[in-house]
């Protein structure tokens, strides 16, 4: 019974942790939209804008990656630790 509760908690927590993916999704979409706008205004800056946008996107992705790492820890590491405590 305790094992089931531990596993259930970890699984629900992992699912909740991946909600963190929403933020970077919105943020990156916004950044790409702005980049497209600026390319539309100044098509000759396409290369510069694209590389800067990719860099910014990859950095904006960080919070989503935190959520993902937390989810991974909850699935693969946390059950072992909590089972050991029981």
Among 65, 80, 81, 83, binds another protein (CB under 8 A): 65
- The three-point CA angle 26-49-38 to 5° equals 75
How many residues contact another protein, by CB under 8 A?
12
Asked whether position 62 contacts another protein by CB under 8 A, the answer is yes
| Residue whose CB is less far from another protein, 5 or 76 | 76
Q: Classify residue 73 by burial, with Cβ atoms within 10 Å: 0-12, 13-18, 19+.
A: middle
| Residue whose CB is less far from another protein, 38 or 61 | 61
């Amino acid at each position: 019974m305790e094992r089931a509760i531990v596993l259930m908690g970890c699984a629900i927590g992992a699912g909740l942790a991946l909600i963190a993916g929403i933020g970077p999704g919105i943020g990156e979409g916004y950044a790409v939209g702005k980049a497209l706008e600026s390319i539309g205004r100044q098509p000759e800056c396409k290369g510069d804008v694209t590389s800067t946008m990719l860099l910014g996107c990859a950095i904006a992705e960080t919070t989503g990656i935190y959520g993902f790492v937390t989810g991974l820890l909850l699935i693969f590491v946390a059950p072992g630790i909590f089972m050991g405590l029981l």
